[in-house]
Amino acid sequence: MIANGRWLPCLAALVLSWLSPSTAHAERPNILLIMAEDMSPRVGAYGDQIARTPNIDRLASEGMRFERAFTSAGVCAPSRSGIIMGVHADSWGAGHMRVTQGGYAAVPPPEMKAFPELLRAEGYYTMNARKTDYQLDVGMDGFLGGPFTIWDDTHVDDWRGRPDGQPFFAYLTLEGTHESQVWPTWKFPRDLMQLAMLPMRVANHSRWIHETDPADVQVPPYYPDTPTVREDIARHYNNIEAMDAQVGLLLAKLEQDGLADRTIVIWTTDHGDGLPRAKRWPYDSGIRIPLIIRWPGVTTANSVNEELVSGVDFAPTILQAAGVPIPDYVQGRVFLGPGTQPEPEWIRAARGRIDEHDDRVRALRDRRYKYVRHLIPDQPYVLPVAFRNTMPMMQEMNELSESGALEGTPALWFRQTRDTEELFDTATDPHEIHNLAGDPAHAEQLERMRTALDQWLATSGDLGLLPEEELAERFWPGGVQPVTAMPTIEERDGRVHLASTSEGASIGFSLDEGSWQLYTTPFPMPHGSEISAKAIRYGWAESGEATTSFPDREPR
Range list of H helices, 100-226? 115-121, 192-196, 198-205
Closest by CA to 8, choosing from 488, 530, 551, 494, is 530
- 8-state DSSP, 144: B
Does residue 550 contact residue 491 with C-beta atoms inside 8 Å?
Answer: yes
Catalytic: which of 76, 99, 107, 397? 76
Q: What amino acid occupies position 408?
A: G
Please indicate whether residue 10 is annotated as part of the active site: no
- 8-state DSSP, 542: P
For residue 404, give Cα distances in angstroms to 226, 379, 412, 460.
Answer: 16, 19, 13, 42
**3-class secondary structure for 202-259?**
HHHHCCCCCCCCHHHCCCCCCCCCCHHHHHHHHHHHHHHHHHHHHHHHHHHHHHHCCC
Does residue 222 contact residue 381 with C-beta atoms inside 8 Å?
Answer: no
Kindly give, in sequence order, each residue whose CB lies less than 8 Å from that of residue 255, ignoring residues fewer than 6 positions away: none
Degrees, nearest 5: CA angle 113-117-121: 115
Beta-bridge partner residues of 126: 169
Four-point Cα dihedral 416, 420, 426, 431, nearest 10: 10
- Report, as residue numbers or ranges, the catalytic residues: 76
